[in-house]
Structure 1
Amino acid sequence: MTHPEIIKKQKLFDRWALSYDILFTTIFYQAIHKRLLNYLQLPDSPNVLDLGCGTGRLLDRLAEEFPTLRGTGFDLSPEMIRQARQKKRDRHRPRLIFIQGNAEQLPFADQQFDTVFNTISFLHYPNPSRVLSEVYRVLSPGGNYYLVDFMMPNKTASGVLGGSPANLRLYPLQKREQLGIEAGFCCIGHHSLLGPVWLTIFTKI
């Protein structure tokens, strides 16, 4: 059964989709993506999954940087997926495709991707352990999982910023690392990207 919070979030992001690239300014995401690229280690002809892809900004940049890359964007919001398909991401077809669905039940085969990205969306998951288990399942051995999100500044506590359909779950780096290890990952390290936004790199042994 779908978590009620997931349904609320889907409706929220559907409403945001048309103005998302304006509200969440190009400058903010460009800065994060630029810094993220400095830490990437991709195989030849990578097959990547962008979990919580929104309007497809990251995949568009990756396709520019890596001409042999094939990418799948996955997002809860049908409207976000529609925007991703209609915008400039069209120029990278058929290398990029966009699929709508719930991150707790990924419609992909075991070990289908050699790299998974998760940028500013992990904080939206009501069941993070379930999502991490799915990421682990679809990632091939030796593949990396790049988790980028806001960090809870308190080193010992996690927090839920509630009061709206956009309940946000923030974690200190130690808790983020623990969740990944419990799913089977090995944590390679943490890196500051922009203020409270941190990258954690996991690998599947």
Structure 2
Amino acid sequence: MTENIPNKKEQLFDLWAPNYDWLFTSVFYQAIHVRLLEYINLPPQSHILDLGCGTGKLLNRLAANFSDLRGIGLDLSTQMIHIARMKNCHRPRLIYIKGNAVALTFADNEFDAVFNTLSFLHYPVPEQVFQEVSRVLNTQGRFYLVDITTWRKLDSEYEHRAFLPNNIRFYSPKAREELGREAGLNCLGHYYLLGPVLLTIFAK
């Protein structure tokens, strides 16, 4: 059943892509990006990965704030990548490629930081995404996971709510910590950025 979800997600975001930066969600995301900057700690000449990069808004903001940063944006949507490349104002420091978060084509220990902003709720196999993030992070690396969480504390492993046809999942702080532990990542803390949007920082 889950094998068809990535194709459906790609089609959905391909349709959204031409107008994505004009939607209300874009304003909402940019406000979150500004708050996220308050919690980011990167070493000099960082090499970073943005999973689910969309049209490249976060990477462009990071490149503007960290002048020696190099970054790769990865997204499942061909059209999102196309727009991100067109709007890339930090070449050659930033590049954008199409790919799937459950099967990253990067070397072990390649990145100083991995970012995932408001796309984790779409992943049908979250455990595999965490394993891949852990694999590509170096020994001092950080994983910055930003997504909508549940409105209340839960004792279950995770809260799963399927809003057909999009199969969206929300994860409690406890569930995020457990996913991190299983992948060899330690949770450094949780920080609410805007309403129910929660930043969780993991260390390799």
Which band: TM-score by shorter chain? over 0.9
TM-superposed CA distance for 1:44, in Å, is 0.3
Amino acid at match of 1:63: A
Deviation at 1:24?
4.1
Query: What residue in structure 1 maps to residue 70 of structure 2?
Result: 70
Q: Please tell me the residue identity of whatever aligns with 1:167.
A: N
C-alpha deviation, 1:189, in angstroms? 0.2
Structure 1 residue 153, shift from structure 2 partner: 1.8
Secondary structure of the residue aligned to 1:169 is coil
Tell me, yes or no, if structure 1 residue 17 matches structure 2 residue 17: yes
Q: Which residue of 2 aligns with 1:82?
A: 82
2:149–2:198 CA contact under 8 A, matched in 1: yes
Rounded to whole Å, the distance in 2 between the matches of 1:155 and 1:26 is 28
Report percent identity of matched pairs. Answer: 57
Aligned-partner SS, 1:38: helix
Shift of 1:28: 1.0
Take 1:170 and 1:46, find their aligned partners in 2: how far apart are those partners? 30
Structure 2, unmatched stretches of 5+, are none
Name 1:141's counterpart in structure 2.
139
1:180–1:187 CA contact under 8 A, matched in 2: yes
Residues 104-142 of structure 1: CA deviation (Å, up to 9, x unaligned): 100100011010000001000000000000000000001
Residue 163 of structure 1 pairs with residue 164 of structure 2: yes
2:204 corresponds to 1:186: no
- Determine the C-alpha separation between the residues in 2 that align with 1:115 and 1:52: 14
Partner of 1:152: 150
Aligned to 1:6: 6
User: Is 1:155–1:172's contact at 8 Å kept on the other side of the alignment?
Assistant: yes
Per-residue displacement from partner, 1:45-102 (whole Å, max 9, x unpaired)?
Answer: 1100000000000000001001100000000001100010012x1x210000001011
Q: What corresponds to 1:175 in structure 2? A: 175
Compared with structure 1, are the counterparts of its residues 167 and 2 closer, same or farther at alpha carbon in structure 2 (3 Å cutoff)?
closer
Residues 86 and 104 of structure 1: is their aligned pair in 2 closer, same or farther, counting only changes over 3 Å? same
Q: Distance in 2 between matches of 1:24 and 1:139?
A: 33
Aligned Cα root-mean-square deviation (Å): 1.3
2:48 is the alignment partner of 1:48 = yes
Match of 2:122 in 1: 124
Q: Give the TM-score normalised by the residue count of structure 2.
A: 0.95
* Inter-partner Cα distance in structure 1 for 2:161 and 2:78: 25
CA contact 2:134–2:183 (8 Å) conserved in 1? yes
Q: In the alignment, is the contact (CA less than 8 A) between 2:112 and 2:142 conserved in 1?
A: yes
Q: Say whether the 8 Å CA contact 2:186–2:203 is kept in structure 1.
A: yes
Q: In the alignment, which residue of structure 1 is the partner of 2:106?
A: 108
2:29 maps to what in 1?
Answer: 29
Q: One-letter code of the match for 1:178?
A: E
Distance 2:40 2:123 in 1: 24
Q: CA offset at residue 151 of structure 1?
A: 0.3
CA distance in 1, matches of 2:139, 2:197: 27
- Is the contact between residue 114 and residue 143 of structure 1 (CA under 8 Å) also seen in structure 2? yes
Q: Counterpart of 1:5 in structure 2: which amino acid? A: I
Give the Cα separation in 2 of the matches to 1:139 and 1:44: 16
TM-score by length of 1: 0.95
SS at match of 1:153: coil
